[in-house]
């Protein structure tokens, strides 16, 4: 009826011809280039696409564009006001940055727009109002408490006209000039204004759109493949199959066992295997062409779980069999150990597959250059690994490929494996045009590696006084169709499977098995999440059996300086576990002297509350003998500013803040004087994988030593020029003092260049050497498998509804020994998010695969915890510095998430006597257990 | 393949019905579209030629008291229903249900018409309307008809509305013996020497961060005369293949005092009549049956207290 859509967007009016089938989000992003509005799921679940229509927040991904005719739209780009020459942030935008509510930033436009609508309607909201309004606006970095505080602060500022109040966040106890103080993210403002560019926001001239055709069968041989109809479709530019792979047919992070595409006669190992890829003029045509590809398979029996995979006579998925790795830990003498025990308990636990559900789905763009090189724009946790894998598949030297890393809307381990990178390189090479491959949420859920589902049997032996004498564990890990990092993840699960305890006799056997499920790989916690659930449940079971308080049992056995770990490593320093235990214990007892006893609600006797307790440890760094290196480069520019560069990934966790603070510290300048460039294989040295909580440590150190090297060069230059001893040259507040002269960095830069020196320095840091699991050192002892460990303890207060089995987590106390808090604001975000991810792991998340087919193939079916489930989180920072870490720092990204699950399930037991041994917690099962418990 | 070719925004019911009938097939009504758009995008609904958007039709966006009933237009956004003082006064259960449907952004476009038209046995809005004894006004080319909500449902996902020729205009919720609108809640009116108080309540039980539909929901409307349940309507979802009115339970409690003994008998009738089923990933029939008593008691008690 209408032949045009007239609408006002951020104060500007537009009249646009309608496009059939278009949604408002597409109109905003593609026609008006307002890419601040993000697409996380395209199914009205995540809220990232929220915009205001006539003042009301709506999900623009399911809003027909034609309905916006005559309406007034506000997007994130419309909030900041131009005042004179400068853009003045809206108080909400300012508060989000100040309160550390911004991490990966992908959900932030949706959060801010939703909050903006709330404050228009209700200028003085309380916590409940905020939670009600933001119920369905998901944040996977999960800084919900910071988001709430930011909204409260912005509301106050808007009411009073006063500046936005800053949060009170204590400095590190090891504070320096820059490091140890709260510092705002360098990319914060871009992320709150919608200017931050993520891969899918990029458009290149002549760009094509790609789609991968997935096998959609869990196991079988590809018999026939007919791409003729797809090729014939107008608008299709290329359809490629396995035959077109120029180089190696497989890719992988460690083991090259994952086909770029499955060819005719070859084996399909999971539903997400690609069998063909299409590039077309539009996404719609590419999708349509993909659907026109005809395939026939010779179906094979499906291996659905790791226990079945190890049985005799079952089909073998890979040439070398279904066993990826049998991992063994041996310490002491098990027989003697259990003989010493007064009490022996044994129990088996199960954990499900889980998805990272980063809000930004995978996206890669391949751009062919006239000189024959290929640029790949992608948000990747391991840019140099991407380069290697793309080059090998293309049959090219690595230098021919450049990975240009983009802002990432979350990673959590799920963006380590190659997804579309090779496919776009092939299509861009074949068509000599830029090609974008954006996964929709469905494809993201189907294809990328997950958290391993596990079965973990724990047998634990202790003396009557509570001293642990022997722990024997057996683990099965479902690594799915391909190895990814499966061996490493399950190794970590195995080595950590007896908990953070000093135990004389330990044995662990793990079978990492291939199955026909989606592959499993890295996911925050890296196997330790699963192992901690099992062993920390056992610790509480043991405490009850021995009639010892759970906290005392852990104190008695906790790792301390001087302990020998299960892998034979003597801990020589930086073991803050006991302090974490003591501080969490003191905090819960402040609130309740008998925290682990059930308390019945006086108003509603069906509600019972209790606290639960759990401890954990997690390695920092790769360990196990892998060379753990990171390179960084620091350059001084003519304007006196610095740039620090490393290919390490910024995925929201705050590495860029850490790098700039460290360089600022070493140069005695304000952090704002330091720019950061990451994730570019042409421009940044190799920082290695962003995984294993390692980057603050390794790239932090690389940045630090690169800065020191440059500083030494500057000192030498000035010492020579002013003829003074280098020791007499002082760096202070952005000025260098030498023999009565004060010199600016801009002057030094010019000085050095004039002398033919480049004012820059590269440093490749190599972390202390580690030993592979089970390898004896020269002196006949086991060596250090890891160069540092972080420790974490959590207590949760849980309320159980005895009528329904419903669980509500009310409070979480989380203490983490992080060595040294480099940026306390960034740390806060990691800890809040870690708790929420742990809570999701425990209560809501389950990636369901039935007979190899994915059931949870939309975000609507995979339950990611939202703000309504957020408990009150109290963070306690414990700082036992590690000598080699930068200023004493070690990793935090994973440890803060690991103890949450067992702390909750232990609290459930303490409240109502039901032991949860399989995740996620199922309220129905709790109810049946309650009914059947006398 | 475009999900739709043509998007029409008629201004009247007549225009809408004409558009529906005259457009090349397939043509389809879209209200909030929060379900339909997903069905189209995810391939559960095949692409259509024409979408007839009914959200700009005044008759479908009214919310008013009319002819002794509260009229809620089928295309009024759920959030407006939830925020309406009129609805709060006459149909508190509906406010409570609407505040729990999906999330705020979806509620700003989703409609009760869509909620009902899907004929899901546990849709929160539908269950509340059922307990409130709502009637639906359905328009077709031959005119409009009013039908009790219960007669609208034929089976799970199947309604008596001819989707290619009819549309829901709105819902009438009886305002019960109230000839004038009272400013305060709860409402009361003296008829003869007796005082009647009317109230309603809706609650549900979900999984944490639950999927769209609840494990179980329940709405109760009642008329209280001192300690006697003068009249009562009970709806439970999912309690059968269609949205379930617990008529046996209503008969058991109607005219009775509310006490433990009468409650237990009522619950017994409810459980005997309801047909709970197992949904693969939400809950088993046994679980639903087990928690139904607690939920029903909770809802009934709240409504009863409100009518004090």
By the CB < 8 Å criterion, does A43 face chain B?
Answer: yes
Predicted local confidence at residue B194, as pLDDT? 53
- Cα(B64)–Cα(B80) distance, rounded to whole angstroms? 12
Domains B63-174 and B187-306 share a fold: no
Is residue A254 within 8 Å of residue A488, measured between CB atoms?
yes
Burial B253-271 (b: 16+ CB within 10 A, else e): bbebebeeeebeebbebbb
Query: Which domains occur in chain A, in start order?
Result: 5-78 (3.10.20.30), 81-199 (1.10.150.120), 202-300+360-409+415-447 (3.90.1170.50), 453-623+781-932 (3.30.365.10), 629-766 (3.30.365.10)
Task: Check A803 against B4: CB less than 8 A apart.
Answer: no
Task: Report the residue of chain B nearest A1, measured CA to CA.
Answer: B8
- Cα(A244)–Cα(B156) distance, rounded to whole angstroms? 49
Task: Enter the tokens of residue B58.
Answer: 């005044």
What ipTM was assigned to the predicted interfaces of this complex? 0.95
CATH class of B187-306: alpha beta
By the CB < 8 Å criterion, does A131 face chain B?
Answer: no
Task: Check A66 against B38: CB less than 8 A apart.
Answer: no
Task: Enter the tokens of residue A400.
Answer: 């021919």
Task: Report the residue of chain A nearest B103, measured CA to CA.
Answer: A136
Residue B182 confidence (pLDDT) above 50: no
Measure in Å the smallest separation between the Cα of A515 and chain B Cα atoms: 23
List A residues 81-120 in contact with B (Cβ-Cβ < 8 A): 114
- Cα(A166)–Cα(A164) distance, rounded to whole angstroms? 6
Please give the angle made by the CA atoms of A117, A150 and A871, to the nearest 5 degrees: 100
Name every chain B residue with its beta carbon within 8 A of the beta carbon of A861: 211, 281
- Cα(B4)–Cα(A20) distance, rounded to whole angstroms? 6
Residue B177 confidence (pLDDT) above 60: no
pTM score: 0.97
Q: What SS3 class is residue B48? A: strand
Residue B183 confidence (pLDDT) above 50: no
The Cα-based distances of B74 to A819, A894, B58 in angstroms read 60, 49, 10
Predicted local confidence at residue A390, as pLDDT? 98
- Cα(B18)–Cα(B3) distance, rounded to whole angstroms? 21
- Cα(B245)–Cα(B210) distance, rounded to whole angstroms? 24
- One DSSP character per residue, A581-627 reads HHHHHHHHHHH-SSTTS-EE-SS-TTEEEEEEEEEEEEEES--TT--
- Cα(A224)–Cα(A240) distance, rounded to whole angstroms? 15
Name every chain B residue with its beta carbon within 8 A of the beta carbon of A52: none
Considering only CA atoms, which of A137, A119, A143, A140 is closest in space to residue A49? Answer: A137
List A residues 804-823 in contact with B (Cβ-Cβ < 8 A): 804, 806-808
Name every chain B residue with its beta carbon within 8 A of the beta carbon of A137: 103, 105
- Cα(A8)–Cα(A74) distance, rounded to whole angstroms? 8
For A55-113, strand residue ranges (E) read: 56-59, 72-74, 81-83, 86-88
Task: Enter the tokens of residue A695.
Answer: 């980057």
Q: Are strands B4-8 and B27-30 parallel, antiparallel or unpaired?
A: unpaired
Predicted local confidence at residue B179, as pLDDT? 34
For A182-242, strand residue ranges (E) read: 208-214, 220-226, 236-240
Burial B212-225 (b: 16+ CB within 10 A, else e): bbbbbbbbbbbbbb
Q: Enumerate residue ranges in chain A where pLDDT < 70.
A: 1-2, 934
Q: Are strands A374-378 and A363-368 parallel, antiparallel or unpaired?
A: antiparallel
Tens digit of each residue's pLDDT (9 = 90 or more) over A622-678? 999 999 999 999 999 999 999 999 999 999 999 999 999 999 999 999 999 999 999
A148 phi, psi to nearest 5 deg: -60, -45
Name every chain A residue with its beta carbon within 8 A of the beta carbon of B294: 606, 803-804
What is the average per-residue pLDDT within B114-133?
A: 96
- Cα(A868)–Cα(A136) distance, rounded to whole angstroms? 9
Contacts of B111 (CB under 8 A, 6+ apart): B31, B32, B55, B74, B75, B76, B77, B78
Name every chain B residue with its beta carbon within 8 A of the beta carbon of A47: 103, 105
- Cα(B200)–Cα(B97) distance, rounded to whole angstroms? 11
Task: Check A67 against B281: CB less than 8 A apart.
Answer: no
- Cα(A308)–Cα(A514) distance, rounded to whole angstroms? 10
Predicted local confidence at residue B181, as pLDDT? 35
- Cα(A185)–Cα(B61) distance, rounded to whole angstroms? 46
For A711-750, strand residue ranges (E) read: 730-732, 735-738, 741-744
ω into residue A173 within 30 of 0, thus cis? no
Is residue A467 within 8 Å of residue A557, measured between CB atoms?
yes
Pick B38's closest partner by Cβ from A21, A43, A804: A43
Task: Check B209 against A864: CB less than 8 A apart.
Answer: yes
Per cent of chain B over pLDDT 90 is 86
Measure in Å the smallest separation between the Cα of A474 and chain B Cα atoms: 30
Task: Enter the tokens of residue B159.
Answer: 């309604």
| Gyration radius (Cα) of chain A, Å | 28
Q: Best mutation site among A2, A70, A292, A924 for testing chain B: the one with the most B CBs within 10 Å?
A: A924
CATH code at B63-174: 3.30.465.10
In chain B, where are the structural domains located?
Answer: 63-174, 187-306
Task: Enter the tokens of residue A486.
Answer: 């499966």
Predicted local confidence at residue A2, as pLDDT? 63
- Contacts A–B by Cβ distance under 8 A: 129
The Cα-based distances of A324 to A310, A311, A510 in angstroms read 10, 14, 10
The single residue listed with the structure tokens 């089923």 is B277
Pick A44's closest partner by Cβ from B10, B34, B55: B34
Question: In which band, very low, low, confident or very high, does the pLDDT at B77 lie, cut at 50, 70 and 90?
Answer: very high
Task: Check A137 against B102: CB less than 8 A apart.
Answer: no
């Amino acid at each position: 009826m209408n032949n045009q859509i007239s609408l006002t967007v951020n104060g500007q009016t537009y009249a646009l011809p309608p496009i059939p089938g278009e949604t408002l989000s597409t109109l905003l992003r593609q026609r008006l280039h307002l890419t601040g509005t993000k697409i996380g799921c395209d199914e009205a679940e995540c809220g990232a696409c929220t915009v205001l229509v006539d003042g009301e927040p709506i999900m623009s991904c399911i809003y027909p564009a034609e309905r916006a005719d005559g309406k007034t739209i506000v997007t994130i780009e419309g909030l900041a006001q131009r005042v004179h020459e400068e853009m003045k942030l809206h108080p909400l935008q300012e508060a989000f940055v100040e309160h550390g509510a911004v991490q990966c930033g992908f959900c932030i436009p949706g959060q801010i727009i939703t909050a903006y609508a709330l404050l228009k309607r209700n200028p003085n909201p309380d916590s409940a109002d905020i939670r009600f309004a933001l119920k369905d606006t998901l944040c996977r970095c999960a800084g919900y408490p910071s988001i709430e505080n930011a909204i409260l602060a912005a509301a106050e500022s808007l009411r009073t006209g006063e500046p936005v109040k800053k949060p009170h966040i204590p400095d590190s106890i090891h504070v320096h000039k820059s490091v140890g103080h709260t510092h705002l993210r360098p990319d914060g403002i871009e992320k709150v204004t919608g200017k931050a560019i993520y891969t899918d926001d990029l458009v290149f001239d002549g760009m094509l759109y790609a789609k991968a055709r997935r096998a959609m069968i869990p196991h079988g041989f590809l018999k026939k493949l007919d791409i003729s109809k797809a090729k014939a479709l107008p608008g299709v530019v290329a359809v490629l199959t396995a035959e077109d792979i120029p180089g190696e047919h497989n890719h992988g992070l460690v083991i090259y066992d994952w086909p770029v595409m499955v060819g005719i006669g070859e084996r399909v190992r999971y539903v997400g295997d690609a069998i063909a890829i299409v590039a077309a003029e539009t996404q719609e045509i590419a999708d349509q062409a993909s659907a026109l590809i005809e395939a026939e398979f010779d179906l094979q029996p499906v291996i659905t779980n790791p226990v079945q995979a190890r049985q005799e006579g079952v089909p073998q998925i890979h040439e070398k069999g279904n066993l990826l790795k049998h991992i063994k830990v041996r310490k002491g003498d098990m027989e003697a150990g259990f003989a010493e025990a007064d009490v022996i308990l044994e129990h088996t636990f199960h954990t499900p597959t889980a998805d990272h559900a980063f809000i930004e789905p995978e996206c890669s763009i391949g751009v062919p250059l006239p000189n024959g090189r290929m640029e790949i724009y992608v948000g990747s946790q391991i840019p140099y690994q991407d380069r290697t894998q793309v080059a090998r598949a293309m049959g090219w030297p690595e230098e021919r490929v450049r990975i240009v890393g983009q802002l990432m809307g979350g990673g959590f381990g799920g963006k380590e494996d190659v997804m579309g990178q090779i496919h776009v390189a092939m299509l861009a090479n074949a068509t000599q045009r830029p090609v974008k491959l954006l996964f929709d949420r469905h494809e993201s859920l189907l294809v990328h590696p997950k958290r391993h589902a596990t079965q973990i049997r724990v047998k634990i032996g202790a003396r009557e006084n509570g001293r642990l004498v022997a722990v024997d564990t057996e683990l099965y890990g479902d690594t799915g169709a391909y190895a990814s990092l499966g061996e490493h993840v399950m190794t970590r699960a195995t080595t950590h499977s007896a908990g953070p305890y000093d135990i004389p006799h330990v044995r662990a056997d793990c079978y990492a098995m291939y199955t026909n499920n989606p592959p499993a790989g890295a996911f925050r916690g890296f196997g330790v999440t699963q192992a901690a659930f099992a062993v920390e449940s056992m610790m509480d079971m043991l405490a009850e059996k021995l009639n010892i308080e759970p906290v005392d049992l852990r104190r008695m056995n906790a790792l301390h300086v001087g302990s020998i770990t299960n892998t034979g490593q003597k801990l020589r320093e930086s073991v803050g576990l006991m302090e974490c235990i003591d501080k969490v214990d003191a905090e819960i007892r402040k609130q309740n002297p008998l925290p682990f006893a059930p308390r019945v609600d006086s108003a509603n006797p069906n509600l019972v509350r209790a606290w639960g307790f759990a401890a954990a440890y997690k390695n920092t760094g790769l360990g196990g003998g892998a060379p753990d290196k990171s390179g960084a480069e620091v350059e001084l520019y003519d304007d006196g500013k610095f740039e620090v560069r490393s290919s390490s990934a910024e995925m929201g966790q705050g590495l860029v803040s850490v790098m700039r603070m460290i360089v600022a510290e070493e140069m005695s300048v304000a952090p704002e004087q330091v720019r950061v460039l990451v994730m570019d294989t042409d421009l940044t040295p190799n920082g290695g994988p962003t995984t294993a909580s390692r980057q603050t440590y390794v790239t932090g150190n690389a940045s630090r030593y690169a800065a020191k090297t440059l500083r030494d060069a500057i000192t030498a230059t000035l010492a020579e020029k002013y003829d003074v001893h280098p020791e007499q040259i002082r760096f202070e507040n952005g000025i260098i003092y030498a023999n009565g002269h004060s010199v600016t960095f801009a002057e030094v830069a010019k000085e050095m260049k004039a002398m033919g020196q480049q004012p820059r320095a590269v440093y490749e840091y190599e972390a202390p050497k580690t030993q592979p699991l089970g390898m004896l050192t020269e002196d006949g002892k086991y060596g250090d498998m890891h160069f540092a460990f972080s420790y974490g303890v959590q207590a949760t207060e849980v309320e159980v509804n005895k009528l329904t089995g419903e669980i509500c987590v009310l409070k979480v106390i989380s203490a983490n020994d992080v060595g040294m808090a480099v940026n306390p604001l960034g740390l806060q975000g990691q800890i809040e998010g870690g708790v929420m991810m742990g809570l999701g792991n425990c209560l809501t998340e389950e990636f369901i695969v039935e007979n190899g087919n994915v059931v949870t193939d939309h975000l609507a079916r995979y339950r990611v915890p939202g703000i309504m489930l957020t408990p009150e989180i109290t963070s306690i920072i414990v700082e036992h510095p590690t000598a080699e870490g930068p200023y004493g720092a070690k990793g935090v990204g994973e440890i803060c998430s690991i103890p949450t699950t067992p702390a909750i399930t232990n609290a459930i037991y303490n409240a109502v006597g039901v032991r949860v041994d399989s995740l996620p917690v199922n309220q129905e099962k709790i109810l049946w257990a309650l009914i059947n418990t006398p | 393949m475009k999900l739709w070719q043509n998007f029409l925004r008629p201004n009247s019911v007549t225009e809408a019905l004409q558009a529906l009938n005259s457009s090349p097939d397939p043509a389809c009504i879209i209200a909030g579209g929060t379900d339909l758009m997903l069905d189209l995008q995810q391939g559960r609904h095949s692409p259509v030629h024409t979408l007839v958007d009914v959200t700009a039709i005044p008759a479908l966006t009214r919310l008013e008291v009319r002819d002794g009933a509260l009229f809620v237009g089928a295309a009024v956004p759920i959030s407006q229903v939830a925020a309406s003082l009129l609805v709060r006064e006459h149909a508190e259960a509906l406010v409570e249900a609407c505040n729990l449907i999906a999330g705020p952004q979806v509620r700003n476009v989703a409609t009760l018409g869509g909620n009902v038209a899907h004929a899901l046995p546990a849709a929160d809005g539908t269950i509340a309307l059922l307990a409130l004894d709502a009637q639906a006004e359905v328009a077709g080319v031959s005119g409009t008809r009013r039908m009790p909500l219960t007669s609208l449902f034929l089976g799970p996902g199947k309604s008596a509305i001819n989707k290619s020729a009819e549309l829901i205009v709105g819902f009438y919720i009886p305002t019960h013996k109230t000839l004038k609108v009272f400013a305060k809640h709860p409402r009361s009116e003296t008829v003869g020497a007796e005082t009647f108080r009317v109230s309603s309540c809706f609650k549900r039980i979900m999984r944490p961060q639950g999927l769209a539909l609840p494990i179980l929901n329940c709405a109760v409307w009642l008329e209280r005369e001192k300690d006697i349940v003068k009249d009562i309507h009970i709806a439970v979802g999912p309690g059968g293949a269609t949205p379930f009115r617990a008529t046996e339970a209503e008969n058991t409690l109607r005219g009775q005092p509310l006490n433990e003994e009468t409650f237990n008998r009522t619950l017994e009738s409810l459980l005997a009549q309801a047909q709970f089923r197992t949904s693969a990933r939400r809950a088993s029939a046994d679980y639903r049956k087990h928690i139904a008593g607690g939920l029903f008691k909770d809802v009934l008690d709240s409504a009863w207290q409100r009518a004090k």
